[in-house]
Structure 1
Amino acid sequence: MTESVPPRSRPGPRRGLTERAILDAALRLVDAGGAEALSVRSVAAEMGVAPNALYTYFRTKADLVAALGDDLLGRLDLDAALGDADWRSAVVRLAADLRATLLAHPGVVPLLLHAGFAGPRALVAGEVLLELLSRGGLPADDTARASYLLQTYVLGTVALDAAELPPGAARPDDAARTAERRRALGGADPALLPRTAAAADVVAAYNGDAQFRWGLDRLLDGL
């Protein structure tokens, strides 16, 4: 008499393979090689597993990118923002923290601009921003429009900043980048470009923290 063979069950998650480990591996790849370095296969190779081992967690690259963006948003201190008695300082802190978080991983930026932020943490962060703006006295519709305006300002400045960096390159500090641009602008002929030549110091610092804060303050002043 032959023994019955139990039905084969679907394989479960590989031991030691977690969503956290996958996202960490994905971020390492993007930091080293830019947006083009990211795929389900490349992450699997980075972790030393077959691609199908990742499908329990992320079926597609789009799923992976969405989770990566949501993970980065999870690094923002939303509780501190809500606990700030000054709505404006809380908005400034959130905007600056988001900018710093994304620029620490510039290779992620083009991926997120294409995919957008749509995960659970993105929704919570959006809710916090709406709450802070409502504390500033804006009507509900204007609060929603102001939220979009601020998000596009932050992401737009980040995208321009990140676009200047080659894949895998670390972002130089503001002083180094400003000095390099100032040298490039040093050849501007004042006779042909008088306003550019006169404003060269400011133009050279366009993508720095000071310019970012200047623009953010003007937006908040207007709101």
Structure 2
Amino acid sequence: MPKPGPRGILSDDVIVDAALLLLDTRGPEAMSMRGIATQLGVAPNALYTYFPDKAAVLRAVVDRLIGTHADLSALADSSGLPRARIRTLALGLRAGLIRHPGAASVLLGAPMDGPQAMLLGEHLLSALADAGVEGPSGARASYLIIVYLLGSVALEALELDPTRPAPPEEDRIAARRQAFDRVPAELFPRTAAEAATMATYIGTEQFTWGLDRLLDGLGVPA
């Protein structure tokens, strides 16, 4: 239930909304308690009724991003094939996070321990168990999948302006291809020969290729 706030405008959700707006328009550095308060038109002290510090706000932002972009219902649907459930989760969450280029640094800098993150972890463990990967192996596999997902998003985000929407994937790949075309083939012949493929490293095809190889290695049947 929302706590009373100055002029009745504040709540946990309102503060997280303001933090996300700053993330998307001014980058992760703007998400200070003072910056959020300024965005909302209140004194910084007003925020501490809802969150004890910036770290708590970042945890809530991470949980909002996961809850918004992770298809937890599909992941939890035991009638579906485990591999398809995991792929749906990973592809959807990756696509959603790339729409917030500044989110990568937040996800890598704040614990994933909110309610939505815990649900994601629980359902991922269940999907892996349904595939026969359980116990300690299932826990390690779950961690490996999350690391692959977040690492891929973080590397893509490095090439994006965190204060602007991500350009279409095909445009980003084309720009990378132009950069690879400037690589001197006489010095880096293998790189030049594989430039077309290497330009797609940030694309969905590469992400899916890697995810499938990862799931193959973990013993999740196709």
Asked if these proteins are the same fold (TM beyond 0.5), I'd say yes
In structure 2, list runs of 5 or more residues that go unmatched. none
Task: Name the CA distance, whole Å, in 2 between partners of 1:79 and 1:178.
Answer: 32
Deviation at 1:12, TM superposition (A): 4.3
- For residue 82 of structure 1, the aligned residue among 76, 79, 97 is 76
1:100 pairs with 2:95: yes
Asked if the contact 1:174–1:205 (Cα under 8 Å) also holds between the matched residues in 2, the reply is no
Deviation at 1:165, TM superposition (A): 1.7
- For residue 175 of structure 1, the aligned residue among 170, 184, 188 is 170
What is residue 197 of structure 2 aligned with on the other side? 202
What is residue 111 of structure 1 aligned with on the other side? 106
Task: Name the CA distance, whole Å, in 2 between partners of 1:211 and 1:72.
Answer: 23
What is residue 3 of structure 1 aligned with on the other side? none
1:31 pairs with 2:24: yes
- For residue 15 of structure 2, the aligned residue among 14, 18, 22 is 22
- Deviation string for 1:174-208 (max 9, x for gaps)? 11111111111112233322211111001111111
- Deviation string for 1:110-157 (max 9, x for gaps)? 122012211122111100000000111113111111001000000000
What is residue 186 of structure 2 aligned with on the other side? 191
Percent of pairs identical after alignment? 47
* Paired letter, 1:147: S
- For residue 54 of structure 1, the aligned residue among 47, 55, 63 is 47
- For residue 5 of structure 2, the aligned residue among 4, 8, 13 is 13
Asked if the contact 2:102–2:157 (Cα under 8 Å) also holds between the matched residues in 1, the reply is yes
Question: 1:147 and 1:113, CA in 2 relative to 1: closer, same or farther beyond 3 A?
Answer: same
- Aligned residue-pair number: 213
Relative to its length, the structure with more helix (as a share) is 2
TM-score of the superposition, structure 2-length normalised? 0.91
Task: Name the CA distance, whole Å, in 2 between partners of 1:38 and 1:16.
Answer: 19
Task: Name the CA distance, whole Å, in 1 between partners of 2:44 and 2:90.
Answer: 36
Task: Name the CA distance, whole Å, in 2 between partners of 1:220 and 1:169.
Answer: 33
Deviation at 1:169, TM superposition (A): 2.2
Asked if the contact 1:40–1:51 (Cα under 8 Å) also holds between the matched residues in 2, the reply is yes
SS for the counterpart of 1:55 is helix
Task: Name the CA distance, whole Å, in 2 between partners of 1:86 and 1:148.
Answer: 20
* Paired letter, 1:13: G
Task: Name the CA distance, whole Å, in 2 between partners of 1:123 and 1:211.
Answer: 28
Is the radius of gyration larger for structure 1 or structure 2? 1
In structure 1, list runs of 5 or more residues that go unmatched. 1-10
